[in-house]
A and B are shown apart, each in its own frame.
Chain A
Amino acid sequence: MNDIEGVAGDGQNQVARRTFLKMGAIGAAVFAAGTAGSVVVPDLRRRGLWTPDGVFDAASIAWANAVYTEAFPTSPLILSPFSDELPVPRALAPIAKSEWSNWAQPPGPGLGQQSSLGNQQHQIWTPPGNPVQDPIVYHIKVQVNQHGFTSSQVLPIDRFGKPTQSFDAAGKTYRPGTTRTLPKSTIHAFNGTFPGPMINAEYGRPVIVRFENQLDLNPMNLDRQDFGAPDLSFLTHLHNGHTAPESDGNPHYSMISGPKHHGYKPGMWVDNMYLNWPAGGDDREKQSFFWFHDHRMDHTGSNVYKGMVGLYPIYDPKNGMDMGDERQGLRLPGVRTNNPDGSFDVAYDIPLAFYDCRLDDGVTVHQDIHDAQGEFPDAHNPRKHPEWWGKTFYKHFPNHGFVGDIFTVNGTAYPVLEVKRRKYRFRFLDASLARIYEFKLMSSTQGPKSSVSLGYSGNELQGQYRIPDGQQCMKWTQIASDGGLLPTPITRDSFELWPAKRREFVVDFTKYQDGTPTTKGDVIYLTNVMKMPDGRMWSNSSRFAPDPNYKIPMLKFVIGDNAPDDSVMPTGLLREMPPIPTITQDMLDNRMVFEVERGSAGGEIEWLINGVPFDPSTVATSLKNPHGSTPKAQQKMNSFNLWEIRNGGGGWVHPFHLHMEEHRTIMRNGKRVDVTQDPSHPDDSGREDLGALDPAESVIVYRGFRDFVGPYVAHCHNLAHEDHAMMFGWEITP
């Protein structure tokens, strides 16, 4: 048919068809826009990506997910959860002076006495104003050992929750449905335990910890697998002690001074001096709960995941304020026992270290950029490792931050703790590499059900168990955050715990939140309600898109007998806050600005600060501040300044840690926190060493730089980000 003829012969139909096509095209566009508006936009909003650039970032994220392979195993199902007792750490015994003074190279203040390298000296041996005294000396060996996360039998399952085959180190294959005993995982750990030892410290009593690298010794001939620093070096950071650089264990110092290497190698030792002295000698700067962990450049994540974690509660005996004796001072829960060796333990005051892991299924290919770099030649990756079935699985990269599917407390998966009917103090620590938790105290009539039995699969299996009928039954009374005691307690229904953060709470196990008394045998679950399928950020939490079905019990409390309780539930002033001067516009304009963002540098995604990866040899440069200058990250000793930390977006959250002194948040997202409290960050009111940055958020913090000089770092505490260059060097100058 001739076109024109066709048109001329059927003109009205032609017009109608054109109209139909046009309307169809317009309708399709409207439908697409409507779908985007109802489905895509809310998701982008939740992820902080609903901006012109954010839309591009969201698409880039999707590309990254498609291009980079993130294959993780599904851990076997623990069949008898909440049967292992929660390990409650006991205080490490110090070394008697009669012993350490006879060491070939005893600790001392002289030049060359700070480490086995003989090239450094402690900046301060006795805190100003303190009487000259010997520090308390501890000796911690960094050792290879084994660790079991559960004594329960396990059922190997695949990502759909179906029973699957399993393997053993001898090469035997077990058919699907066979229950197994988990093999122990190889760890590199402080004194060979996970978590490592706990040092109960006190202000006014300086401590030296001699960390000695014995990782080259492997008497049990354990398979070290394919993660952990390949040269077996370590670098211990007391997070966040007010500590001189030589004892701080940070890579900026380590690469240019002291070891002049990523860390201390096998056979070396270092004396880390922890003065237990508040910044500037100001009692208001006292803190309450540190932890120490590895900080070896490029391998912090893998070393921490392999077990290098230790605990360091610190008490304040001044006027008996917070010395672990509930009859004195603030009367916080705690019954102190002084041990003959000089240490002390505090009952009813329990640290809880949270850590998530994955166990090898024997069929997931180990494929990691660090293999390509030749770091683990014995593993012959990429390949499967059935001989490692049931042992910890790790992947340095690519991932957004490693998250596990088994949740542990103090190194044990799904433990149980019998508590007395009284008040307890719990010191929470997130020792996970990337996972953020949100905790509630819940009761459940039906008890935990495996996620498999509830029909879940894939990422929904993370955490393994749920309490579908769980209901909040108690509230938290928060008394401290990373920076120590809060000015006043905060009563909370739930709280978030970001990587490396600490939070302390008092829980009264005598009654429920409605006033009903508890009875012996009652069960309460410490429950995680934040779903975080990967290391980027949560998908569901109380703040954003709560998932009422995601209630993962992590620790079971069983109410026991009555017990004497001389503690009181805190209500008033806990610790006065250090003063902040009037923040002038000039101070704000001259602040330092650091923006954390995701970059891309090929083989490994690089995580950047101010557009550049970590360079251990130098200090960073601020972005241009409102004053128009770009100062170097150098501060005069005993000065104070405002630093702004921005999350450059991209749909990631960043727990950003600043070494050396805790800070005060002045502004969040451009609003003063003392005027407009952000309900998402209620403890902005306290002192912190780690800023929790939601997508696209920024904080301006007030910081001091007192007492020491030298190089420090600041970095993201999502350890995959840190290990891939989201860190910068800064220094204090005389």
Chain B
Amino acid sequence: MFIQARVQRFTAWRDRMQMWWITVAAFAIVITYADGFWVTTLRGAVGAIERRGSPLHQWLRDSTLMLPLFFLAVMVALAMARRVVGQHGGLIKFGAAAFFVTVLASGVAVAELGASSAYDYHLQTRHLQLEDSLHHTHPAAAPAVSSGLPTSGQTTAGACTGLCATERDTFNVHVRAVFYASVVMLITNFVLVLWVMALRSERLWRRPVASAPTTAKVVAPELSLA
């Protein structure tokens, strides 16, 4: 009884959402794995050593874990698009859907990228501190040369040099990397959204079931762009 009630509630919610779930899934899957590719490869370029591994496996694992979030983002995006465009059709609806899906999905992707980079930075600063102590204050190492020449890792009072500078450079690299990747992901997502829209032949969301015509057998009951 309980399960039946739950199923009924889910069915009612699903109908109320009026989504083409295959379309939502197609958006979510394509965008998730494409953005996951960029996140994984960026980690390969500037990420922490500790997170190295087979990038293929990492991509599959991380993207799959992120899939529900992207699914939700796409769903929200389409709902927002539908709310904004109302009964408008054609390019307005098409454009609104493309805009909202691209922006929301990219937002999630950039958040994922930011979190990944932040974690990398955390690991890297820890590693850099270890390296700094190893190379410059190694217990076996003799004191630095006393000739007045600069020594490796020397820190001047008030200036960000040595470890501080290295950490700052690391941070800057991540900022630059996240910026570049965000742009690339935005473009990627936009292209993919258009591609999925074309592939799904305009099936963005359904009309309410109650008002759907029953005689239009040759056409699907989705909204037209015409």
Q: Report which A residues bind B (CB closer than 8 A).
A: 1-4, 6-8, 10-15, 17-19, 21-22, 24-26, 28-29, 52-53, 56-57, 59-64, 66-68, 216, 230-233, 255-256, 259-262, 265-266, 297-298, 369, 372-377, 597, 599-604, 606, 608, 611-613, 615-617
Interchain CB contact under 8 A, B150 and A376: yes
Which residue among B56, B141, B213, B216 has the maximum number of chain A CB atoms within 10 Å of its CB? B141
Selected from B42, B121, B151, the residue in CB contact (under 8 A) with A60 is B42
Interchain CB contact under 8 A, B199 and A369: no
Interchain CB contact under 8 A, A601 and B44: no
Selected from B49, B89, B162, B224, the residue in CB contact (under 8 A) with A608 is B49
Contact with A along B167-211 (1 / 0, CB 8 A): 111100100110011000000000000011111011000010000
- Given known contacts A1-B89, A372-B165, A374-B161, A67 and B177 CB-to-CB distance under 8 angstroms: yes
Contacts of A376 in B (CB 8 A): 150
- Given known contacts A7-B216, A7-B226, A231 and B41 CB-to-CB distance under 8 angstroms: no
Contacts of B159 in A (CB 8 A): 374
Interchain CB contact under 8 A, A14 and B145: no
Determine the residue in chain A with the shortest Cβ distance to B167. Answer: A603
- Given known contacts A21-B201, A255-B140, A298-B152, A603 and B169 CB-to-CB distance under 8 angstroms: yes
How far, in whole Å, are A232 and B146 apart by their CA atoms in the complex? Answer: 11
How far, in whole Å, are A64 and B176 apart by their CA atoms in the complex? Answer: 11
The 3 closest A-B pairs by CB, nearest first: A60-B44, A602-B170, A56-B55
Interface pairs (8), CB distance under 8 Å: A7-B219, A53-B54, A231-B147, A266-B145, A369-B169, A377-B156, A602-B120, A603-B128
Query: How many Å from the CB of B123 to the closest CB on chain A?
Result: 9
Interchain CB contact under 8 A, B166 and A604: yes
Contacts of B224 in A (CB 8 A): 3-4, 6-7, 14
Interchain CB contact under 8 A, A601 and B124: yes
Query: How many Å from the CB of B185 to the closest CB on chain A?
Result: 12
Interface stretch (choices B12-20, B67-75, B101-109, B131-139): B131-139
Contacts of A60 in B (CB 8 A): 41-45, 55
Interchain CB contact under 8 A, B207 and A3: yes
Interchain CB contact under 8 A, B150 and A375: yes
- Given known contacts A600-B45, A606-B49, A611-B52, A230 and B149 CB-to-CB distance under 8 angstroms: yes
Q: Report which B residues bind A (CB closer than 8 A).
A: 37-38, 40-49, 52, 54-56, 59, 87, 89-90, 120-121, 124-125, 127-128, 131, 134-135, 138-142, 144-145, 147, 149-156, 159, 161-162, 165-170, 173, 176-177, 180-181, 195-199, 201-202, 207, 212-213, 216, 218-224, 226
Interchain CB contact under 8 A, A602 and B48: yes
Selected from A10, A22, A602, A613, the residue in CB contact (under 8 A) with B121 is A602
Selected from A8, A29, A216, A373, the residue in CB contact (under 8 A) with B166 is A373
How far, in whole Å, are A29 and B127 apart by their CA atoms in the complex? Answer: 43
How far, in whole Å, are A232 and B201 apart by their CA atoms in the complex? Answer: 70
Query: How many Å from the CB of B18 to the closest CB on chain A?
Result: 13
Determine the residue in chain A with the shortest Cβ distance to B54. Answer: A53
How far, in whole Å, are A87 and B198 apart by their CA atoms in the complex? Answer: 69
- Given known contacts A1-B89, A60-B42, A21 and B198 CB-to-CB distance under 8 angstroms: yes
- Given known contacts A260-B141, A261-B142, A372 and B177 CB-to-CB distance under 8 angstroms: no
How far, in whole Å, are A256 and B139 apart by their CA atoms in the complex? Answer: 9
Contacts of A266 in B (CB 8 A): 145, 147
Query: How many Å from the CB of B180 to the closest CB on chain A?
Result: 6
Interchain CB contact under 8 A, B134 and A617: yes
How far, in whole Å, are A129 and B124 apart by their CA atoms in the complex? Answer: 53
Interchain CB contact under 8 A, A53 and B152: no
How far, in whole Å, are A18 and B204 apart by their CA atoms in the complex? Answer: 13
- Given known contacts A3-B224, A232-B147, A298-B135, A29 and B219 CB-to-CB distance under 8 angstroms: no
Beyond A56-B55, A62-B41, A615-B134, list 13 extra A-B contacts (CB 8 Å).
A3-B89, A12-B218, A22-B199, A25-B198, A52-B56, A56-B40, A56-B59, A57-B55, A68-B173, A262-B141, A372-B169, A374-B154, A600-B49
Interchain CB contact under 8 A, B41 and A603: no
- Given known contacts A67-B176, A231-B149, A601 and B48 CB-to-CB distance under 8 angstroms: yes
Interchain CB contact under 8 A, A14 and B128: no
How far, in whole Å, are A260 and B195 apart by their CA atoms in the complex? Answer: 62
Selected from B41, B49, B161, B220, the residue in CB contact (under 8 A) with A372 is B161
Interchain CB contact under 8 A, A61 and B45: yes
Interchain CB contact under 8 A, A265 and B169: no
How far, in whole Å, are A7 and B201 apart by their CA atoms in the complex? Answer: 13
Interchain CB contact under 8 A, A15 and B48: no
Interchain CB contact under 8 A, B45 and A67: yes
- Given known contacts A7-B226, A373-B152, A232 and B42 CB-to-CB distance under 8 angstroms: no
- Given known contacts A4-B216, A602-B124, A611-B49, A24 and B198 CB-to-CB distance under 8 angstroms: yes
Contacts of A52 in B (CB 8 A): 56
Contacts of B59 in A (CB 8 A): 56
How far, in whole Å, are A66 and B180 apart by their CA atoms in the complex? Answer: 8
Contacts of A615 in B (CB 8 A): 134
Which residue among A52, A265, A600 has the maximum number of chain B CB atoms within 10 Å of its CB? A600
Contacts of A601 in B (CB 8 A): 48-49, 124, 127-128, 131
Interchain CB contact under 8 A, B140 and A617: yes
Interchain CB contact under 8 A, B45 and A64: yes
Query: How many Å from the CB of A55 to the closest CB on chain B?
Result: 8
Interchain CB contact under 8 A, B151 and A63: no
- Given known contacts A373-B153, A601-B128, A603-B128, A59 and B41 CB-to-CB distance under 8 angstroms: yes
Interchain CB contact under 8 A, B49 and A256: no
Interchain CB contact under 8 A, B180 and A63: yes
How far, in whole Å, are A53 and B162 apart by their CA atoms in the complex? Answer: 35
How far, in whole Å, are A231 and B146 apart by their CA atoms in the complex? Answer: 9
Contacts of B125 in A (CB 8 A): 602
Contacts of A265 in B (CB 8 A): 145, 147
Interchain CB contact under 8 A, B152 and A64: no
Query: How many Å from the CB of B74 to the closest CB on chain A?
Result: 18
Interchain CB contact under 8 A, A25 and B195: yes
Interchain CB contact under 8 A, B147 and A216: yes
Selected from B38, B199, B219, the residue in CB contact (under 8 A) with A15 is B219
Determine the residue in chain B with the shortest Cβ distance to A9. Answer: B226
Determine the residue in chain A with the shortest Cβ distance to B168. Answer: A372
Contacts of A17 in B (CB 8 A): 226
Query: How many Å from the CB of B47 to the closest CB on chain A?
Result: 6
Selected from B154, B166, B202, B222, the residue in CB contact (under 8 A) with A603 is B166
How far, in whole Å, are A124 and B139 apart by their CA atoms in the complex? Answer: 29
Determine the residue in chain B with the shortest Cβ distance to A216. Answer: B147
Contacts of A260 in B (CB 8 A): 140-142
- Given known contacts A21-B198, A64-B46, A298-B135, A56 and B37 CB-to-CB distance under 8 angstroms: yes
Contacts of A61 in B (CB 8 A): 45
Determine the residue in chain A with the shortest Cβ distance to B127. Answer: A601
- Given known contacts A8-B213, A56-B44, A372 and B166 CB-to-CB distance under 8 angstroms: yes
Determine the residue in chain A with the shortest Cβ distance to B177. Answer: A67
Contacts of A13 in B (CB 8 A): 226
Selected from B54, B90, B166, the residue in CB contact (under 8 A) with A369 is B166
Determine the residue in chain B with the shortest Cβ distance to A224. Answer: B149
Contacts of B45 in A (CB 8 A): 60-61, 63-64, 67, 600
How far, in whole Å, are A6 and B48 apart by their CA atoms in the complex? Answer: 55
How far, in whole Å, are A422 and B151 apart by their CA atoms in the complex? Answer: 53
Query: How many Å from the CB of A9 to the closest CB on chain B?
Result: 9
Determine the residue in chain A with the shortest Cβ distance to B139. Answer: A617
Determine the residue in chain A with the shortest Cβ distance to B146. Answer: A265
How far, in whole Å, are A24 and B177 apart by their CA atoms in the complex? Answer: 33
